[in-house]
Chain A
Amino acid sequence: MSKPLKQIHLAAHFPGVNNTTVWSDPAAGSHIEFDSFTRFAQIAERGKFDFLFLAEGLRLREQNGLIYDLDVVGRPDTFTILAALAAVTDRLGLTGTINSTFNEPYEVARQFATLDHLSGGRAAWNVVTSWDAFTGENFRRGGFLAEDDRYSRAQTFLQTTWELFDSWLGDEIVADKESGVFLSRADAGHFEHRDRHFDISGQFSVPRSPQGRPVIFQAGDSDAGREFAAATADAIFSRHSTLDAGQAFYTDVKGRLARFGRRPEDLLILPAATFVLGDSDAEAKELAHQVRLQQVSGQTAIRFLEQLWNRDLSSYDPDGPLPEVDPDTGEHTIAKGRASVRMHRDPIATAREWREKAAAKKLSIRELIIEVTGRQSFVGSPGTVAGAINDLVQSDASDGFILVPHITPGGLEPFVDRVVPLLQERGVFRNEYSGTTLRDHLGLGPPRQATARQRVAS
């Protein structure tokens, strides 16, 4: 008997503040007005998507000591916009990225539990940590943490919020008007947590929410990050969207679950992916090239090059050859507030590769950057894209995708109108939501109780 078909999970990433988002297109709308968010969310919900995804950045990016002005700048507060979106959607999951470094467990747990109540069980938290004193300059806590400390604090932060979520079991509110008993227990919400990072105790103020706790996302890719995700996450926001890399990541992470007493289906792997649709594959390919040109202007290409070179390269011609000079391997100072900067582990070697590639293919700076800074994940006719997505999911390269349209707010619409019906025809994507909570959509059971929790019998 052949393996039953896996059901695909789809999510919609609100276009972010990087060059994937094309703001110069005539169809591009506001990134801040609520109507844009409403429209985006309602398109996703019309397509029966699992959830909407919001990224976060707590300091405006800078390059060469100046606020970076070539990409979209500005975004709303994550919690506040998700709470409002709960009012204009019914089923769509609401996933927010929230940094654990510049918050405290009590307030974050309170906000997520509130969002889960107000959305009827649709809240999810993409847990990230920050590494830089640069962002910390906006906060009373400062916030610089050594890299090792970041994971340890993030881990205990998450653990602590679980203890808070679990401090209410869900049966405490009796509200019996006749007898006058509101709470069944006076110690509802009691918690006590002491470790190196947090020394807190008291009573949590939000009773248990519909999902018990929000769905937990992680984006970690390092060994420690994968281990953290295998132990605690419900889903991983990964960046391995191709077949080989996807399968390798998928096998590795799912293989770690048994050691934590978890089943493979308890943790979903959802890579981020972009798409360009056309009536034919050829038309889509041409469109995709046009989008790449919009995404990487000459100026943007120079800025990207500077991020690797760690030098001011503003005097270079984007249509000319790559710099002969090597990257500055000293302290990284050119670009601030960007995750991608850390990914260039060996700038000299990467620069050498880029020069060789440019020489071999006779590429200018701009052409090279278009080549090396990512490509559209899915390009083709609706049939081609539906087939590619399904193949990747069925061959265990992922459990679905978090789609990142390049136009706000309407960029998702062609996908919903033209690709989703094909996936539904194949029987690999829902025709209707079968449940009401995000855990329902993702096929996750009720959350496990926090391991450290010990309720004293009352």
Chain B
Amino acid sequence: MPEPRHLHVGVALDGAGWHPAAWREPDARPNNLLSAGYWVDLARRAEAGLLDFLTIEDAMRLQSDHPYHPDQRTDRVRGQLDSVLIASRIAPATGNIGLIPTVVLTHTEPFHTSKAITTLDYVSKGRAGLRVRVSARPEEARHFGRREFAEVDPRRRDQPDGVALVSDLFDEAEDYVEVVRRLWDSWEDDAEIRDVATGRFIDREKLHYIDFSGRWFSVRGPSITPRPPQGQPLVAALGHASRPYQLVARSTDLGFITPTDQVSAAAIVEEIRREESLAGRPHGAVRVFADIVVFLGDTPQKAGDRKARLDQWAGVKYRSDAFVFTGTATQLADLIEDWAIVGLSGFRLRPGTLPQDLIQITGQLTPELQKRGIFRQDYEEPTLRGRFGLDRPANRYVTA
């Protein structure tokens, strides 16, 4: 695999930003978080900065800062829209940026998810992705009433009960992605024939039952929606441990990881490459991205002061699963260059506050990366797959 000439940079959108006090910033729009205009503005800004993609966080529950139950807090952003629909609402208002919403697979139907992402791919003309996540949270399960999960502190997931739960959830995730992908291929590209002479709209030989049968679900197919423009939209997942890394390596195109430095980034990339190879996939098939939470300022002092003010509002120092960066765009560019050499395709930046840190990313960081010759000057490939040098894949059901 040749080294990519350019780094890829995506932005992770979530409410008013990732810091719990982000909504109190002067330029925050906490009353607009549920409006289309808010999301369209952010997406257009990200696109103006030539970012590869945006992701949108989602869950089947009200936000909570407690690791495994609701927190009853009233001082943080609460209330959230369905991310697939936000992405679809954004799509006609943008033209280049990749759109990767989040789907909680534990409580949803792979059939619905597959056609929803297909439709997003049609609406965006080939810019759709899908980030899958599992949920072990008991309160989320109670919203559906079909499964029960015990309250397990995620930090104790190395206990036997926790290991079994995690293993089940990720086994199911792999089945789920498999079904979604098979459904994407369940129509051959030229299945719609509109043959007036024979009266046939489709050639039914080019539609395929997927006949998936597994422990959690069986799905017959074919999809009700023709094959998406990209053939296979990109699938992404975030992981912090070995079992999720296996999901990333076996089932996804984009892996989001949370290293704390160059050394840990290298170790995680190596583990994913090993799993990728065990899964029989070509080296580098998965594009690995490091997540970084960013608080940016024109000077280190300004960035630090802003972060300190946010922490003061929140009443606690901000902690994250990802590395927290505070500084200037130039300093961030240095860090990005330093980490990237261990085999990262790029970075998924989590803005500490919106729109402030997104403005810094697109106004300061990407120009700096361009200056260093490691970021695109313009969008070249119209599809999200194309942006990663991925061809439109052959359909698994087409027999030569």
From A71, which residue of chain B is reached at the shortest CB distance?
Answer: B201
User: Taking the complex as formed, is A333 at the interface, i.e. its CB lies under 8 A from any CB of chain B?
Assistant: no
Contacts of A364 in B (CB 8 A): none
User: Which residue of A69, A106, A188 contacts B203 across the interface (Cβ within 8 Å)?
Assistant: A69
On chain B, the residues within 8 Å of A103 by CB distance are 109, 112
Q: Is B242 an interface residue (CB 8 A)?
A: no
How far apart sit A119 and B36, CA to CA, in the bound complex (Å)? 7
Which one of B60, B76, B194 lies within 8 Å of A106 (CB-CB)?
Answer: B60
Q: Is A33 an interface residue when CB atoms closer than 8 A count as contact? A: yes
A138 contacts B201, C-beta separation under 8 Å: no
Check B309 for interface membership: any CB of A closer than 8 A. no
Q: Is B115 part of the contact surface with A, judged by Cβ < 8 Å?
A: yes
Asked whether any CB of chain B lies closer than 8 Å to the CB of A416, the reply is: no
**What total of A-B pairs shows CB separation below 8 Å?**
231
Residues of A within 8 A of B88 (CB): 79-81, 83-84
A67 touches B204 (CB 8 A): yes
Which of A109-117, A371-379, A428-436 lies at the binding interface?
A109-117
Cβ of A23: which chain B residues have Cβ within 8 Å of it?
194, 201
Closest to B108 in A: A107
The number of chain A residues touching the other chain, given as a range, is 35 or more
B319: interface (CB < 8 Å):
no
What per-residue 1/0 map shows which CB atoms of B283-323 lie under 8 Å from chain A? 00000000000000000000000000000010000000000
Interface residues in B39-64 (C-beta closer than 8 Å to A):
40, 59-63
Smallest beta-carbon distance A118→chain B, Å: 5
- Please encode chain A, from 186 to 208, with 1 for each CB lying within 8 Å of some chain B CB and 0 for all others: 11110000000011111111110
A139 near B217 (CB under 8 angstroms)? Answer: yes
Q: Which of A87, A102, A110, A209 has the most CB of B within 10 A?
A: A87
Please state if A188 and B61 are interface contacts (CB–CB under 8 Å): no
Instruction: Among B21, B111, B192, B200, point to the contact of A138 (Cβ < 8 A).
Output: B111
Whether A110 contacts B220 by the Cβ 8 Å rule is no
- Is residue A359 within 8 Å, beta carbon to beta carbon, of the partner chain? no
A283 → chain B closest CB, angstroms: 24
**Chain A residues near B24 (CB-CB < 8 A):** 177, 180
**Inter-chain contacts of B219 with A (CB < 8 A):** 137-140
Cross-chain contact B142 with A120 (CB below 8 angstroms): no
A79 with B116: CB separation less than 8 A: yes
Is the beta-carbon distance between A67 and B123 smaller than 8 angstroms?
no
The verdict on A87 contacting B89 (CB below 8 Å), with A32-B225, A69-B200 known, is: yes
Given contacts A69-B202, A104-B107, A106-B144, contact A77 B78 (CB under 8 A): no
Q: Are A118 and B111 CB-contacts (below 8 A) given A107-B60, A205-B59?
A: no
Contact A140 B109 (CB under 8 A): yes
Instruction: Report the minimum CB–CB distance from A36 to chain B (whole Å).
Output: 10
* B224 contacts A58, C-beta separation under 8 Å: yes
Cβ A202 vs Cβ B142 within 8 A = yes
Most buried by B among A24, A104, A182, A198: A182
Known: A59-B224, A87-B93, A138-B219. A114 touches B118 (CB 8 A): no
Chain A residues within an 8 Å CB radius of B146: 104
Q: Cβ of A177 and Cβ of B23 under 8 Å apart? A: yes
Q: Cβ of A33: which chain B residues have Cβ within 8 Å of it?
A: 122
Interface residues of A in 23-55 (CB under 8 A from B): 23-24, 32-34, 38
Q: Is the CB of B76 within 8 A of A182?
A: yes
* Minimum Cβ distance to chain A for residue B208 (Å): 10
- Give complex CA distance A281, B146 in Å: 58
Interface membership of A12, Cβ < 8 A: no
Docked complex Cα distance between A299 and B72 (Å): 63
Q: Are A60 and B222 in contact (CB under 8 A)?
A: yes
Instruction: Kindly identify which residue among B84, B109, B187 contacts A80, using a CB–CB cutoff of 8 Å.
Output: B84
A180 touches B75 (CB 8 A): yes
Knowing A83-B88, A181-B75, A186-B73, say if A77 contacts B116 (CB, 8 Å): yes
Bound CA span A207–B80, Å: 8
User: Is B74's CB within 8 Å of the partner chain A?
Assistant: yes
Instruction: Flag A361-405 by CB within 8 Å of B: 1 or 0 each.
Output: 000000000000000000000000000000000000000000000
Identify whether the interface residues of A are mostly helix, strand, loop, or mixed. loop
Determine if A248 is an interface residue (Cβ-Cβ < 8 Å).
no
The residue from A34, A72, A106, A201 contacting B92, defined by CB atoms under 8 A apart: A34
Contact at A201–B142, with CB atoms within 8 Å? yes
Q: What is the bound-complex CA distance between A84 and B118, given in angstroms?
A: 13
Given known A32-B122, A118-B85, A139-B217, contact A58–B111 (CB-CB < 8 A): yes
**CB of A355, distance to nearest CB on chain B (Å):** 25
Q: Which chain A residue has the least Cβ–Cβ distance from B125? A: A34
Partner of B115, one of A76, A107, A117, A201: A76
CA distance A195 to B217 in the complex (A): 25
Q: Does A297 contact B (CB under 8 A)?
A: yes
Given contacts A70-B201, A104-B144, A200-B142, contact A177 B119 (CB under 8 A): no
The answer to whether A67 and B202 touch across the interface, beta carbons within 8 angstroms, is yes
Contact of B143 among A77, A106, A206, A209 (CB under 8 A): A106
Interface flag for A183 (CB, 8 Å): yes
Question: Do A175 and B80 touch across chains, with their CB atoms under 8 A apart?
Answer: no
Interfacial residues, chain B to chain A (CB-CB below 8 A): 21, 23-26, 28, 30-31, 34-36, 40, 59-63, 70, 72-82, 84-86, 88-93, 107-112, 115-116, 118-120, 122-123, 125, 139-140, 142-146, 187, 192, 194, 196, 199-204, 207, 216-222, 224-226, 313
**Nearest 9 A/B pairs, CB to CB:** A140-B217, A175-B30, A80-B119, A137-B220, A83-B88, A87-B92, A83-B85, A114-B82, A76-B119
A-B contact pairs, 30 of them (CB 8 A): A58-B224, A59-B220, A70-B199, A74-B192, A75-B225, A79-B82, A83-B84, A83-B89, A84-B89, A87-B36, A102-B109, A102-B112, A104-B146, A117-B34, A118-B35, A118-B36, A118-B86, A140-B217, A141-B109, A177-B24, A182-B77, A186-B74, A187-B72, A189-B62, A201-B143, A202-B61, A202-B139, A205-B80, A206-B34, A206-B81
Instruction: Give 19 A-B pairs besides A66-B204, A83-B86, A84-B123 with Cβ atoms closer than 8 angstroms.
Output: A32-B122, A34-B92, A69-B201, A74-B224, A76-B115, A77-B115, A79-B82, A81-B123, A86-B36, A86-B89, A87-B91, A107-B60, A107-B107, A107-B144, A138-B220, A141-B109, A182-B23, A202-B70, A297-B199
